[in-house]
Amino acid sequence: MEKDSKIYIAGHRGMVGSAIHRKLQEKGFTNFVLKTSKELDLRNQQAVSDFFKTEKPDYVFLAAAKVGGIIANNTYRADFLYENLAIQNNIIHSSYENGVKKLMFLGSSCIYPKLAPQPLKEDYLLSGFLEETNEPYAIAKIAGIKMCEAYRSQYGCDFISVMPTNLYGPNDNYDLQKSHVLPAMIRKFHEAKVSGSKAVTLWGTGSPMREFLHADDLAEACVYLMDNYSEADFINIGTGTDVTIKELAETVKKTVGFEGDLIWDTTKPDGTPRKLMDVSRLHAQGWKHTIDLEQGIALAYQDFLEHHDTLRL
* pLDDT tens for each residue of 85-141: 999 999 999 999 999 999 999 999 889 998 899 999 999 999 999 988 889 999 999
Query: Is position 166 annotated in a ligand binding site?
Result: yes
Could you tell me the CA-to-CA distances from 21 to 32, 184, 186, 237 in Å, in that order? 9, 25, 25, 18
pLDDT band at residue 309 under the 50/70/90 scheme:
low
Query: Is position 109 annotated in a ligand binding site?
Result: yes
- The pLDDT score that the predictor gives to residue 102 is 98
Contact (Cβ atoms closer than 8 angstroms) between residue 163 and residue 109:
yes
pLDDT band at residue 312 under the 50/70/90 scheme:
low
Domains and CATH numbers, the chain: 7-172+211-240+276-291 (3.40.50.720)
Query: How high does pLDDT run on average in the chain?
Result: 94
Note the helical H segments in the chain. 15-26, 45-55, 70-75, 77-97, 135-155, 181-195, 215-228, 245-256, 280-284, 293-306
- For 180, the 3-state DSSP assignment is coil
Query: Is position 12 annotated in a ligand binding site?
Result: yes
- The pLDDT score that the predictor gives to residue 125 is 98
Contact (Cβ atoms closer than 8 angstroms) between residue 58 and residue 7:
yes
pLDDT band at residue 274 under the 50/70/90 scheme:
confident
Type of residue numbered 199: A
Return all residues near 240 (Cβ < 8 A) that are at least 6 apart.
119, 211, 276, 277, 278, 279, 280, 283
Query: Is position 156 annotated in a ligand binding site?
Result: no
Contact (Cβ atoms closer than 8 angstroms) between residue 143 and residue 130:
no
pLDDT tens-place string over residues 190-210? 999 999 999 999 989 999 999
pLDDT tens-place string over residues 14-31? 999 999 999 999 999 999
Whole-model pTM: value is 0.92
Mean pLDDT over 270-291 rounds to 92
Type of residue numbered 94: S
Q: Is 137 a catalytic residue?
A: yes
Type of residue numbered 29: F
Return all residues near 267 (Cβ < 8 A) that are at least 6 apart.
none
- The pLDDT score that the predictor gives to residue 271 is 75
Report the alpha-carbon distance of residue 237 to residue 246 in Å, rounded. 23
- The pLDDT score that the predictor gives to residue 74 is 84
Contact (Cβ atoms closer than 8 angstroms) between residue 14 and residue 8:
no
* Among 112, 137, 168, 301, the one annotated catalytic: 137
Query: Is position 188 annotated in a ligand binding site?
Result: yes
Mean pLDDT over 172-183 rounds to 82
Q: Which residue has the higher pLDDT, 180 or 101?
A: 101
Query: Is position 256 annotated in a ligand binding site?
Result: no
Report the alpha-carbon distance of residue 167 to residue 63 in Å, rounded. 13
Query: Is position 1 annotated in a ligand binding site?
Result: no
Report the alpha-carbon distance of residue 9 to residue 230 in Å, rounded. 19
